[in-house]
Chain A
């Protein structure tokens, strides 16, 4: 028997052997199966069941190799008979794989020989009493490499339906379920990225549905394009897309912006109006780019606040511009209720104040900003979030960047203040209850978290604080490179679909040790199908075929016991 024959002896699902590598770089494996049986991003396990450690990693590169280059360059099929050529190719031409060495774990009992022992050990892994640990050594030479089995995936990523494990998709080759730990996902801010049309919104819906169903976290969604709350029609397929409100009618509260808001023709549960008294100068400064504000704006706003305190917005709005009255000397002078008069009285440059007033006219005229809202919708939203409900704020007809930036930032600031106070009360030993964790989902995040604005918005504060005050972000964006580096580096979990721009790819991989290996993988993801998960919420990066947002999804989520999904593995008896 030749070495080749020996290596071809069936050893379960082996695909190759380890031939080299290091801790600093990746592992190299020689494949014993044809290259087309393995794909980039495949989750593999190195090491035998009797070895001290099993190593877990991803295939990040595949290379065609030859024992001698002449074997590759010669057209063997023309020179030799098909049988001889085949035998020669089998031994001299091969594929090598580059594998990230990410995690290692001691193998548990054999599930077939000792099912009970294995189950006990498996549960101890899920409860993290025997967790997988970062790889601190490397596999032996010629350690067998195999594609991960369902139980490997369950060990590393959790088992669907147990604890907070939520299936986000399946492995590429064998379709084994890959879960994300929802409790862990919301412990730090997270991001969902992908170029336009790569299924980002569907993936976001899947995650939001999972969070709502899990019911441990309150979710506030700033629904700029009215996608998440109401039912919708997919732009590409024309199929009906269920909204979160329709599927969780009692858990999800739809809030419309403005007194007469309708969302896709339907009335929301209630409407939100912004009280003028709630607006701070900082809320206005945030709109510097949108309103083309000058450098003098901050000074003018400070003067307004100093003059009128909490009613500065209302008072400023009431002032007249270009209003003059004859003075005692017959000359025209600023009217007492004019901007100019106020400016002169406080020593602010009149034309700067006039210009600011003019530029704030878009806010003055916004129908959703009123002096006295009909109801305290903000408090109602907070109550909803407290009471185990989730809020989708739909912007209805107010889809401009100005509306989105202004309202989302103002609300987030107010809500965060509430959560901060509650957290302090809870930690201050006042017997206050522990705040319910809150996730704020923000679309078009680069508009709020770009380099210029990041330091001014509440969002960047939340991202930096992580879960200090029980509030985290779920940011959704197609241009992660436009988001400020410091914010990106604070994101715990990143889930990304296909990205074409190299800057966007680099941004998503910011701060990751294995970013070089993952970069190519990210650029070759199948749009609308595959996503790369990495960061805090998952033990190691992995490419998955994302879960479809369809009727099957809802059936599985809402009626898991009658799920049509069937996983056929030899471990069915062990409930995998």
Chain B
């Protein structure tokens, strides 16, 4: 199906997350904070959030960078045929088993070379709208990750999807859950809310601009 966009295959995994790889020319599809899924079989899918995108170097890239000129052919060859994949880190948020969404960690992680797909708006709405937003605790668990930015990016994506799906109250409920989870950690919560505030400001500016343009 056209709306099922494959964005890579699994490199390595563990219970709390996994890393998949893709070619450099596929990098337009996955983005920081995007919700992805791994289809394990017909009944079982794992959902996760992209928290890291790494482009590794190799000997050829190092040589090309230090050369005096960079031929266009070499540039295109590096983008299209490079053997070092882009590594994309995903935080496991939950799974779907027989159509039921769970915000617990998946019972078993995905396997090597499993296909990774970007979630469609319907899948995002279904996963984020299920239960009591328990998946947010997985995002907040690892303080080594850029939690504030990751949450802001995810909330923006989910807010837009939920609003389009006729559930504008979702965003406020999600913020309340974030506050409930982080209220014991004043510095982190204020950073998260600061990032979310940026989202709000950006949306307000966009609305204002749209209004001016008619």
Which single member of B132, B173, B183, B190 contacts A91 (CB below 8 Å)? B183
Asked if A68 and B184 make an inter-chain contact with CB atoms under 8 angstroms apart, the answer reads yes
- When distances are taken between beta carbons in the complex, the residues of chain A under 8 Å from B193 are 80, 84, 88
Residues of A in contact with B, size category: 20 to 34
Contact residues, A3-37 vs B (CB, 8 A): 3-5
- When distances are taken between beta carbons in the complex, the residues of chain B under 8 Å from A92 are 179, 183
- Considering the chains assembled together, what is the distance between the CA atoms of A83 and B180 in angstroms? 16
Asked if B197 and A1 make an inter-chain contact with CB atoms under 8 angstroms apart, the answer reads no
Q: Across the interface, name the chain B residue whose C-beta is closest to A8.
A: B176
Q: 14 A-B residue contacts at CB 8 Å?
A: A2-B133, A2-B177, A2-B179, A3-B180, A70-B186, A80-B197, A81-B200, A84-B175, A84-B197, A87-B172, A87-B176, A91-B176, A91-B183, A92-B183
Asked if B190 and A79 make an inter-chain contact with CB atoms under 8 angstroms apart, the answer reads yes
Cβ of A67 under 8 Å from chain B:
yes
Cβ of B196 under 8 Å from chain A:
yes
What number of A-B contacts does a CB cutoff of 8 Å give? 52
- When distances are taken between beta carbons in the complex, the residues of chain B under 8 Å from A74 are 190
Cβ of A571 under 8 Å from chain B:
no
Asked if B186 and A4 make an inter-chain contact with CB atoms under 8 angstroms apart, the answer reads no
Contact residues, A71-97 vs B (CB, 8 A): 71, 74, 79-81, 83-84, 87-88, 90-92
Asked if B179 and A87 make an inter-chain contact with CB atoms under 8 angstroms apart, the answer reads yes
- When distances are taken between beta carbons in the complex, the residues of chain B under 8 Å from A83 are 172, 200
* Mask of A508-523 contacts with B, CB within 8 angstroms, 1/0: 0000000000000000
Q: Across the interface, name the chain A residue whose C-beta is closest to B200.
A: A81
- When distances are taken between beta carbons in the complex, the residues of chain B under 8 Å from A81 are 197, 200-201
- When distances are taken between beta carbons in the complex, the residues of chain B under 8 Å from A80 are 193-194, 197
Which single member of A1, A70, A88 contacts B179 (CB below 8 Å)? A88
Given contacts A67-B183, A68-B183, A68-B186, whether A2 and B197 have CB atoms under 8 Å apart is no
- When distances are taken between beta carbons in the complex, the residues of chain A under 8 Å from B176 are 2, 4-5, 87, 90-91
- Considering the chains assembled together, what is the distance between the CA atoms of A22 and B189 in angstroms? 34
Contact residues, B9-37 vs A (CB, 8 A): none
- Considering the chains assembled together, what is the distance between the CA atoms of A65 and B179 in angstroms? 17
- Considering the chains assembled together, what is the distance between the CA atoms of A149 and B201 in angstroms? 45
Given contacts A2-B177, A4-B180, 5 further A-B contacts (CB under 8 A): A1-B173, A84-B175, A84-B196, A91-B183, A92-B179
- Considering the chains assembled together, what is the distance between the CA atoms of A350 and B6 in angstroms? 126
Chain B interface (Cβ within 8 Å of chain A)?
Answer: 132-133, 172-173, 175-177, 179-180, 183-184, 186, 189-190, 193-194, 196-197, 200-201
- Considering the chains assembled together, what is the distance between the CA atoms of A70 and B189 in angstroms? 12
Q: Across the interface, name the chain B residue whose C-beta is closest to A85.
A: B193
Q: How far is the CB of A498 from chain B (nearest CB, A)?
A: 41
Q: Across the interface, name the chain B residue whose C-beta is closest to A1.
A: B132
Q: Across the interface, name the chain A residue whose C-beta is closest to B180.
A: A2
Q: Across the interface, name the chain B residue whose C-beta is closest to A69.
A: B186
- Considering the chains assembled together, what is the distance between the CA atoms of A112 and B196 in angstroms? 47
- When distances are taken between beta carbons in the complex, the residues of chain B under 8 Å from A88 are 179, 189, 193
Q: How far is the CB of B114 from chain A (nearest CB, A)?
A: 33
Which 10 residue pairs spanning A and B have beta carbons closest together? A2-B176, A2-B180, A2-B177, A91-B179, A70-B186, A68-B186, A1-B132, A81-B200, A67-B183, A87-B175
Which single member of B173, B183, B190, B200 contacts A5 (CB below 8 Å)? B173
Q: How far is the CB of B69 from chain A (nearest CB, A)?
A: 50
- Considering the chains assembled together, what is the distance between the CA atoms of A113 and B47 in angstroms? 48
- Considering the chains assembled together, what is the distance between the CA atoms of A74 and B200 in angstroms? 20
- Considering the chains assembled together, what is the distance between the CA atoms of A79 and B186 in angstroms? 14
- Considering the chains assembled together, what is the distance between the CA atoms of A92 and B179 in angstroms? 9
- Considering the chains assembled together, what is the distance between the CA atoms of A2 and B173 in angstroms? 7
Q: Across the interface, name the chain B residue whose C-beta is closest to A68.
A: B186
- Considering the chains assembled together, what is the distance between the CA atoms of A92 and B180 in angstroms? 9
- Considering the chains assembled together, what is the distance between the CA atoms of A391 and B193 in angstroms? 74
- Considering the chains assembled together, what is the distance between the CA atoms of A4 and B201 in angstroms? 26
Contact residues, A420-465 vs B (CB, 8 A): none
- Considering the chains assembled together, what is the distance between the CA atoms of A92 and B181 in angstroms? 12
- Considering the chains assembled together, what is the distance between the CA atoms of A5 and B175 in angstroms? 11
* Mask of A114-140 contacts with B, CB within 8 angstroms, 1/0: 000000000000000000000000000
- Considering the chains assembled together, what is the distance between the CA atoms of A13 and B10 in angstroms? 54
Q: Across the interface, name the chain B residue whose C-beta is closest to A2.
A: B176
Q: Across the interface, name the chain A residue whose C-beta is closest to B189.
A: A88
- When distances are taken between beta carbons in the complex, the residues of chain A under 8 Å from B184 are 67-68
Q: How far is the CB of A76 from chain B (nearest CB, A)?
A: 9
- Considering the chains assembled together, what is the distance between the CA atoms of A97 and B190 in angstroms? 28
- Considering the chains assembled together, what is the distance between the CA atoms of A56 and B50 in angstroms? 54
Q: Across the interface, name the chain B residue whose C-beta is closest to A91.
A: B179
- Considering the chains assembled together, what is the distance between the CA atoms of A87 and B155 in angstroms? 16
- Considering the chains assembled together, what is the distance between the CA atoms of A176 and B180 in angstroms? 37
Q: How far is the CB of B172 from chain A (nearest CB, A)?
A: 7
- When distances are taken between beta carbons in the complex, the residues of chain B under 8 Å from A87 are 172, 175-176, 179
- When distances are taken between beta carbons in the complex, the residues of chain A under 8 Å from B173 are 1-2, 5
Which single member of A70, A84, A91 contacts B180 (CB below 8 Å)? A91
- When distances are taken between beta carbons in the complex, the residues of chain B under 8 Å from A71 are 183, 186
From B176, B190, B194, B197, residue with most partner A Cβ within 10 Å: B176
- Considering the chains assembled together, what is the distance between the CA atoms of A67 and B183 in angstroms? 8
- Considering the chains assembled together, what is the distance between the CA atoms of A113 and B172 in angstroms? 37
- Considering the chains assembled together, what is the distance between the CA atoms of A91 and B189 in angstroms? 12
Q: How far is the CB of A388 from chain B (nearest CB, A)?
A: 67
